[in-house]
Chains A and B, each alone.
Chain A
Amino acid sequence: MTDSFIKVEGLTRHFDVSKPWLNRVIEREEKSYLTATDDVSFEIRKGETFALVGESGSGKSTIAKMIVGLLAPSGGTIEIAGRRIGPDDPGAVAAVRQRMQMIFQDPFASLNPRWRVGDIIAEPMRTFGILSGGEVMREVARLLEVVGLSAADVAKFPHEFSGGQRQRIAIARALSSRPEFIVCDEPTSALDVSVQAQILNLMRDLQDEFGLTYLLISHDLSVVRHMANRIGVLYLGRLVEVADAKRLFVEPQHPYTQMLLDAVPDLALSGRRRKPVTGEIPNPINPPPGCAFHPRCPLAIDRCKVEIPAPRITPTGTAACHLAGSDTTTSAA
């Protein structure tokens, strides 16, 4: 087995969503917290694409931000390339930062409109002192060619490019510090499908060429299936299932994964009968006790209402369901 590059254990993040102090005093309310990520554990192996899927508010982006260090975890540990990030090892962040980069969803917001493309791409190189002088601009020109743009584009501004081209610029910037690991937060959600295909193909090519490891965040199950080796499914901040990408779609082990798959419109016109989806995601400030999915779950038993299920080993990975691993869940497929 290949060694893990990222190891996350018991990762938890709360956000304070209380009213202002005075309102709390007058209305006699307690402080309230939103648990965006609750006890999430997974590992990402070197060279693989690990995807996190889930609906809005399931905590996908919060996890990504904590891994790259944009948000501090409220609990749990993150280990990157064998070093645990935290107060015990102050040098760890600096040591691993250069090895990680991020690509964001909206290429209109993630590029500074006042900077020329050349400067945008050169910034990580200059910051980390990888290259200097004339070498920087030579490298920028090379990176532009790598992502399918022209070396002559260095002097242009972001507004001169279309959405897909801007996402290519964002990818070139991410590559410029020569990272091993890239977090891609909904990299194609803002793009049209024909452009999405171009970007996804580019990401694959770059992975093969540079041996990159990806953490892909997406709400689009078909994109995730196409790109990932392994998939983690999130529901209300908890990881409900982790499985091999191809097998997740054939043998979903958790009832929520099953429901999510049923909800995807069928482009193949196979005429498969869908089970209608019921209910909506509950309020994350006050989630249901026990398994957060139990009010919508067709298989829920009494135990689900009181006890939070721990991940169980399944034939395809792990699933946090009291019924996983037994015949009850698979019969729902």
Chain B
Amino acid sequence: MTEPLLSVRDLVVEFPTRRGVLRALDGVSFDIAPGEVLGMVGESGAGKSITGAAIIGLIEPPGRIAGGEIRLGGTRIDNLPHEAMRRIRGKRIGMVFQDPLTSLNPLYTIASQLIETIRTHMDLSEKDARAHAVGLLDRVGIPAAARRIDDYPHHFSGGMRQRVVIALALAAEPELVIADEPTTALDVSVQSQIIDVLKEICAERGAAVMLITHDMGVIAETADRVAVLYAGRMAEVGPVRDVILSPRHPYTGGLMASIPTLVQNTDRLVQIPGTMPRLNAIPAGCAFNPRCEHSFDRCLTERPPLIGVAPQHAAACWLADKEIRNDG
């Protein structure tokens, strides 16, 4: 296997509060290979966005990275000084956020925002930067890009704005794009357009993508591998097909079965009882044990590590361990 582009090991993010320290991420590890699309799924509060924020060094104080390391192309980036991190952000890691209205400055034209980003990271003249910007807008599918580049964000529809944000994220030709819920604010017909654009362009430029979303359908169509987060911990990671069609963690299985589909006819949806625990009340052992129908003694006391169940496919569940022993 090739050297991973991004490597996250045992990442711990903590938020000190008056009532004690909350662990938003607890021992999260994963790799992203160059050009790969990794999906990151989980329910609200599972730690998806915090993972993205930790990688680009944008965790809001008092939150902090309390342990583990993040490597980009072999060099550690989690302990870099502010100024060095600022140069990586945008240049080597691009970001696409959920709401395209708040991630663009309403007071500046698209042209000035794109040109500013391009010239910050690339050694280009104003004129060349503008030509580069027009090319980018054209590539993300904005009609009459040369004319529309001088418009303000409010002149664009939601879908078009998200295209501009993608152009902005890719402006400096980053190796990794972190897309945090890029289509959640959009309608379903626009969503499919944006996902197609994001996927195509990143493939064309060889950029890896970390796609954060709560929508399993988007992951199924876009990602190569998927990581499932639960209460700040990795529940399962593996190739998309394996995780969706044969999930090995009971949480992933329940999550998949609880989504109504366009093909199956079921009278009742499978429901996972209860809700995800709050960060200040995570149970001992496996965080999922109170909601799990398969839990046994070991789950209540001992936290399961990620256990390999197939090549590249691992689940943090003691049952995965047991099954392997039975097979062998």
Chain A residues at the B interface, C-beta cutoff of 8 Å? 55-56, 162, 164, 192-198, 200-201, 204, 219, 221-223, 225-226, 246, 249, 259-270, 274, 276-277, 280-281
- Do A162 and B275 touch (CB < 8 A)? yes
- Do B214 and A249 touch (CB < 8 A)? no
Residues of A within 8 A of B259 (CB): 193, 197, 222, 267
The docked-state distance in angstroms from the alpha carbon of A225 to that of B266 is: 10
B160 to chain A, nearest CB (A): 8
- Do B260 and A194 touch (CB < 8 A)? no
- Residue with the highest number of chain B CB atoms closer than 10 Å, among A266, A267, A277: A267
- Do B260 and A226 touch (CB < 8 A)? yes
Residues of A within 8 A of B191 (CB): 263, 265
The docked-state distance in angstroms from the alpha carbon of A280 to that of B186 is: 11
B213 to chain A, nearest CB (A): 10
- Do A197 and B262 touch (CB < 8 A)? no
Q: Can you pick out 19 interface pairs between chain A and chain B where the beta carbons lie within 8 Å of each other? A: A192-B43, A193-B214, A193-B216, A195-B43, A197-B269, A197-B270, A197-B272, A200-B260, A219-B188, A222-B259, A226-B260, A263-B192, A265-B222, A266-B262, A268-B261, A268-B263, A269-B241, A276-B193, A276-B196
The A interface, classified by DSSP as helix, strand, loop or mixed, is: helix
Residues of A within 8 A of B217 (CB): 264-267
Q: Which 10 A-B pairs have the closest CB atoms?
A: A265-B217, A197-B258, A226-B260, A192-B43, A55-B187, A197-B269, A263-B192, A222-B260, A197-B271, A263-B189
B155 to chain A, nearest CB (A): 12
Closest to B269 in A: A197
Interface string of B257-283 (1 = CB under 8 A from A): 011111101111111110110000000
Residues of A within 8 A of B43 (CB): 192-195
Residues of B within 8 A of A164 (CB): 275
- Do A193 and B189 touch (CB < 8 A)? no
The docked-state distance in angstroms from the alpha carbon of A260 to that of B272 is: 29
- Do A222 and B187 touch (CB < 8 A)? no
- Residue with the highest number of chain B CB atoms closer than 10 Å, among A198, A263, A265: A265
- Do B272 and A222 touch (CB < 8 A)? no
Asked if B218 CB lies within 8 Å of chain A CBs, one says yes
* Number of B residues, CB within 8 Å of A: 46
Asked if B224 CB lies within 8 Å of chain A CBs, one says no
- Do A277 and B193 touch (CB < 8 A)? yes
Chain B residues at the A interface, C-beta cutoff of 8 Å? 43-44, 157, 159-160, 187-193, 195-196, 214-218, 220-222, 240-241, 244-245, 254-256, 258-263, 265-273, 275-276
Contact flag A267-B192 (CB < 8 Å), given A193-B216, A197-B271:
no
- Do A193 and B192 touch (CB < 8 A)? no
Residues of A within 8 A of B192 (CB): 262-265, 274, 276-277
Closest to B188 in A: A263
Closest to B45 in A: A192
- Do A277 and B189 touch (CB < 8 A)? yes
- Do A198 and B271 touch (CB < 8 A)? yes
The docked-state distance in angstroms from the alpha carbon of A195 to that of B241 is: 24
Within 8 Å by CB of B188, from A192, A196, A260, A268, lies A260
The docked-state distance in angstroms from the alpha carbon of A277 to that of B183 is: 15
Contacts A221-B188, A222-B261 known; list 8 others, CB within 8 Å.
Answer: A197-B258, A200-B269, A222-B259, A263-B192, A267-B256, A269-B241, A269-B244, A276-B196
